[in-house]
Amino acid sequence: MTAAVNALFQPFQLGSLQLPTRVVMAPMTRSFSPNGVPTADVVEYYRRRAASGVGLIITEGTTVGHKASNGYPQVPRFYGEAPLAGWKAVVEAVHAEGGKIVPQLWHVGNVRHKGTEPEPEVPGYGPMEKLKDGQVVVHGMTKQDIQEVIAAFAQAAKDAQAIGMDGVEIHGAHGYLVDQFFWEGSNQRTDEYGGSLANRSRFAIELIEAVRAAVGPNFPIIFRFSQWKQQDYTARLVTTPEALGEFLEPLSAAGVDIFHCSTRRFWEPEFEGSELNLAGWTRQLTGKPTITVGSVGLDGEFLQFMVKTDKVAQPANIEGLLERLNKQEFDLVAVGRALICDPDWALKVKEGRMQEILPFSREALKTLA
């Protein structure tokens, strides 16, 4: 193993969280959990990655206990006896392999459509009401709704702690509910949850504070955020390092331990005049550890694969990534699709068997291998 590659396989410690390697499995929706319950196949899927050198697994998005939290079929839930028992089996399997695991707690917000399980009659919930042909397709959230969603996240975090998870990740990215409050494109509220970015961040801050209160001071909270949105890939919450610092500081103070900085391509600089990516800037501005993510290990970025395509993403060299990790630009590296198609990705990188890494195509999404 070269000195550069070695950086990826150093342990990482933050308080009670001790990771055997710097490789993180990125959260990726897989939709193999009928009635919201992770199956034996889901247990095995995560176990295999933990057994092959992934230090921290962040699960696929798993919905909190609110009637409008889900937007997709067969997505796992993080509430109710059967789903939590399913997740407990996942935790035990991952721990048996020496890995660590956190659930990604998720509310899809206004992208939910009527007809979606588990309560088909419930519309999307978001910062603003949306009508279509006189029908409410998105329910504009009241302050009571906001408190109920916050309580659902806090309860999910408490349940994660109770079943042995090693922390939680709050999904605040990609144009889902928390991000819908951040983004002025989806939040034109005139109360204290709208207006300036500081006000638009209030929902997230209160949510993080509630999660922290629920789990106590020593249970790790990861917060995932992004500039880009599924509604607009070019969207930006902030355009300068100063503004990014102002945005992150209250989130950090509310209780975030690690920031997961979602970009489409990790190698792209975030702001002009510096090579630093979003994770690099976030680490510098907050002093908190960061996870970088965005097409790690593949030559095609993931949005090309959101539509039906015959494209194949070939394994890409990771020298630039390792150089940045060695310079401590960020602390942890999240790998997404490369780990879907090849559960042994980390092991092959560690052993210098890059030529054996499997390419990624949409075919890989059809099974839980």
81 in any annotated domain: yes
| Active site (annotated) includes residue 176 | yes
pLDDT at 354: 83
What pLDDT digit, counting tens, does each position of 124-145 carry?
999 999 999 999 999 999 999 9
Residue 176 scores a pLDDT above 60: yes
328 in any annotated domain: no
Confidence of residue 96 (pLDDT cuts 50, 70, 90): very high
Nearest to 203 by CA among 251, 140, 155: 251
239 in any annotated domain: yes
Average pLDDT over residues 67-79: 97
310 in any annotated domain: no
304 in any annotated domain: no
Residue 306 scores a pLDDT above 70: no
pLDDT at 233: 85
pLDDT at 314: 67
How many domains in the chain?
1
**Alpha carbon distance 41, 290 (integer Å):** 30
What's the whole-number average pLDDT of the chain? 92
Residue 79 scores a pLDDT above 60: yes
Confidence of residue 261 (pLDDT cuts 50, 70, 90): very high
What pLDDT digit, counting tens, does each position of 232-249 carry?
888 899 999 999 999 999
Greatest mean pLDDT among 189-193, 270-274, 301-305: 189-193
Say which CATH number the domain at 224 has.
3.20.20.70
172-186, 256-270, 296-310 — which is least confidently predicted?
296-310
In percent, how much of the chain has pLDDT > 70? 93
pLDDT at 173: 96
Residue 305 scores a pLDDT above 50: no
58-67, 84-93, 305-314, 328-337 — which is least confidently predicted?
305-314
Average pLDDT over residues 103-115: 97
State which residues form the domain around 84: 28-291
91 in any annotated domain: yes
265 in any annotated domain: yes
- Of the residues 45, 46, 125, 176, only one is catalytic, namely 176
What pLDDT digit, counting tens, does each position of 205-214 carry?
999 999 999 9
92 in any annotated domain: yes
